[in-house]
Structure 1
Amino acid sequence: MKEKLLYLILFSFTFIYTTAQDISLYEQFNGRYDFTFVGNTLNPVENNPSPTCDILTSSSAELNLDSADQVIAAYLYWAGSGTGDFDIELNGNPITAERNFPLSALNTDGLTREYFSAFADVTSLVQTTGNGTYTVSELDLTDIVTDPLYCNIKTNFGGWAIIVFYQNPNLPLNQLNLYDGLQYVPPFISVTLPSLNVIDNAGAKIGFLAWEGDASLAVTETLSINGNPLSNALNPINNAFNGTNSVTGSNELYNMDLDIYDIQNNIQIGDESAEITLESGQDFVMVNAIVTKLNSQLPDATIIVDNIAKECNSGFVTIDYTVYNINSTEVLPAGTPIAFYIEGNYIGGTVTSQEIAIGDSESGTFIVNIPAGTPVDYEILVVVDDIGDGTGGIVIETDETNNSVTIQETQYVSPTLQEPQDITTCETDNGTNIGVFDFSSYEEDLKTSPTDVVTFYTSYDNADDAVDDITNIDSYTSNGENPQTIYVRLEGENGCYTIGEFDLIAVDCLFPDGTVTIADIAKSCNSRIITVAYTINNFNSFDILPSGTPVSIFANGEFIDYTETLLDIAIGETENSTITLTIPDTIPLDFELTFVVDDIGDGTGIVTESDEENNSTVTAISLLLSPEPVEPEPLIECNEGNGISTFDFSNYEALLRTTPNENVYFYTSETDANTDANRIYNTTAYNNTTDPEQVYVRIDNGECYTVTSFLLSTRKCPPTTYNYVTPNGDGYNDTFFVEGLRNIFYDFKMTIYNRWGNLVWTGDHNKEDWDGIASVEKVGAENNTVPVGTYYFVLELNDPEYPEPIVGWVYVTK
């Protein structure tokens, strides 16, 4: 009782949502063709009425064609539960899916289940193998079908099929359409089969490849075409998908169907589409492929362009074309129109001259005039079965979408030649009218494209025939005709060419050629007066350069002075001279100095020369300035004795430098500074020799220098006492030393007292420093060192700057 209840619950499930791939047209065949199926299931038994969770990994089937049948296409489909196994074997040959059709179904139990179908083109394998056994192996769905997710609701399946299309000369002319995808029921699906061209419905049939149909589930399972239910001996009207194979007559093709139906009374002549509907009240069926065979006797016109002949600048092209009637089931009638378009505009047309048999063709030629204004690169469109308005033709065809061919074309147009300029050169000798000419630059300059070819000729006929071109174009000697005309041929990569011409002119060139060079420029610091040495040349000339030839001088393009040559300058000779120039204050320190020979100051010359373009020379000038002087601050240090001290003025080197290229040096005299002699190097610890002392500074930029100075002086600083005396003769602190006292304060007086105020010692500038021996008040034995202890001193400097005595203490120890 529980098992029966479970059975009822499992089959009450309904699939409420899917993601699938709709059935659509995949391929069409027209001719004396038919189709058959070969395939097998991997399910050992049907899933109903009891669930069976076993599945095979391989199975076999037989292909049996007549001896006159020739395979033209064979497509392998395989399918099953789960997301897919896309690498299998067919007769031991590895097969990988080229296309696949996934399907996701959401059941009312809230669970989503995946199913798949895969496709591979196996035409060559079937053509080679022919009739016999076909085995699919390595299709392993074991883990999936044993999963309760599939097995418990009995949608565990696997299988394969090959749809074979074949040709036989004894067959009528048919149109075969293959539609594929993956759609499922329940409850209902509708599939529209387009691209039908029904001429005669005799022998019309339709075949189905479907998965997961169960013979024991026959709940309103109806297959209809155009509203008419289909059935045959294997497929009852209420159980269309029931595990049967119409080719073999088997009813043990578990969980898949290879069914073929006669539909000649269910489709009408002239139909362009058919509506397939499938309804199922319970059985979960997936339709994978549908094949139709209809008697469809129609031609199929196609066209190719075999060749386009064109001439340079002709304004027309000659098109060789071929019209085909290949993918057809009827002859293409004579008079089928052919239209020609350029850049989308109809130009003209023609028609086929005779009927074109099935699989045959007809070639023709048509001259197309290219309209004015058409770009050099343009598009030619040729359409068969087109009356010239782009809306279609007069012939009904099996395929109305393959009638045209588009060609990207280029007009053969001669390149545009920029008329070359005439070339003038000197005669090789006076009165010869002969010159040596170089027009090699024209070989590149006259090109309009890098692939152009430029050649030169002595006659128009040679240029037109492209014979006897001039080869020595860099040193061509004219023939005595003056001028002599040279013809130039500019040829593009398409062979089109243009001819132009230019003249070679030989002229009398017995002229001087004045040039100028600047030899030297003398400048002074802080002066705008410069002296320039220059040379006037008469090189590369054929005559003397006369005396009085003007020479003008410019600063930054501004005229500043004028001179002339003194003597006639012979051919190949020179004249040297100098001129002193004052540069105006309006001219910056850095400027360009220009000398121009044969120029009166306004760009005008008075001498005819062989070369009027080489008369000037330019040089950059920088006037010299001494560095700006910076007055250093005087330095004052403490007198170390006799007016001598130690000074550090090393920082003045950076302080006095105004530009990075300046050098700063120090001297004890102005003469040394001007001659750069006897530099002071110890600027960090310099001892003056006089008090005060003047130190001189030279700031040098490499061309000019400036000399400045600063003062070193000393002052009397308060003396410093050291409070520790050890009169033991070891050389350290043997006497009471006061730094900055002697040789500075010459009138000083010092007195030393013991702690009871008794005078112990007195001294002055004429007396040595106290050595710890009493000299005034005896303390202990006479002339003995005083006892260890602290003593007090009074230092009187007797100097107006320090009127008050200095009082302190000193400690005496052994």
Structure 2
Amino acid sequence: GEYTVADIATTEGYEFNTGYYGGWGLIVIYENSKMNSRSVTVFDGYGYVKVNNNFELPVSGFNTTQNGPVNIKIGVMAGEGDRTYSGDFFSIQKQSDNSWLRLRHSGNNPNNFFNSSINIDGPRNPNLLNSTGVDISAFMVPNPNNSVITNNQTSTKFRYGTNRDFYIIFLIAMAIDSYIPNLEVVTTVANINGTPVGSGTLSVLPEQEIEYKIKIYNNGTEAINNAVLHIPIPFMTKYIEGSGSNTIFFNPLPTPNTLTFNPNEGASGSIIWDIGTLPISANTSDILGELTFKLKVTDDCNILKNLNCIPAVVINGTSSGVGAITGIPITDLSFTQGY
């Protein structure tokens, strides 16, 4: 959307041989399931930087992705940086040799980072070359061969300072490709009474058997420990003893990898697959495990004619586990209903 601000309370004039400045900025942290997972850190405060003063800001608490390129995006808001005065800088420490990389974007340079420029995506009004004391920028940090931030990294540092111009930083934000556990379990109906089914609405009759197929994926960027599936049996069906079969498609096999049926858990019992550790996949479409089992639809008239009972067979299974790196728990995550 379009955001407009007016009537900002500011003061005109000079103090301590410098003019006042005024402006506004907005940072939005959002979630998009179609994008890579990122760890976002925001520092909201007030840092006054004067001549010949350098500062370091340590950043920790993130866990970068386990393999592949690490993408880094930085956002900065600051005030009082002058376009005509150089000597101010904003740097990030390189993990490859602990040296400092002076940052820049398309509207400034490494020796005059705070230069009253606004560098953001999308249109703005007014669109000025010199924003007279207001710096707002969002830009990608070059990270060739992960030399700045690498895989499995959990901390870094910023350094900023000046030898001529002075300025005020009031926001620093960093978004970085990170670990996240993302377990997906998809359930589908394989056949009814031995006959394969297609898509669309399916119907069954009393005493008919339904075979289900459960597929497991790790769509995250870290392994998942203590992965367990719980599948309560719908009250209108009964589990066919011995029909459960579990298969693992990776090596080494996880432990304990046990498949059991507990008749005392839930209204009609529950299937429990205690898998163990699920590794990350090179391709998120890789199936890590598969479970098949059969249910028989009840012929109990007392159940079928009960007006309070919905005549449907629905598998409402859940999965749980914990991220191997982050320790983020997955608790009672519902299965995805397939076709």
Q: What TM-score do the two structures reach when normalised by structure 1?
A: 0.22
Question: Higher Cα Rg: structure 1 or 2?
Answer: 1
Q: What TM-score do the two structures reach when normalised by structure 2?
A: 0.50
Of the two structures, which has the highest relative contact order with CA contacts closer than 8 Å and spacing of 6 or more?
Answer: 2
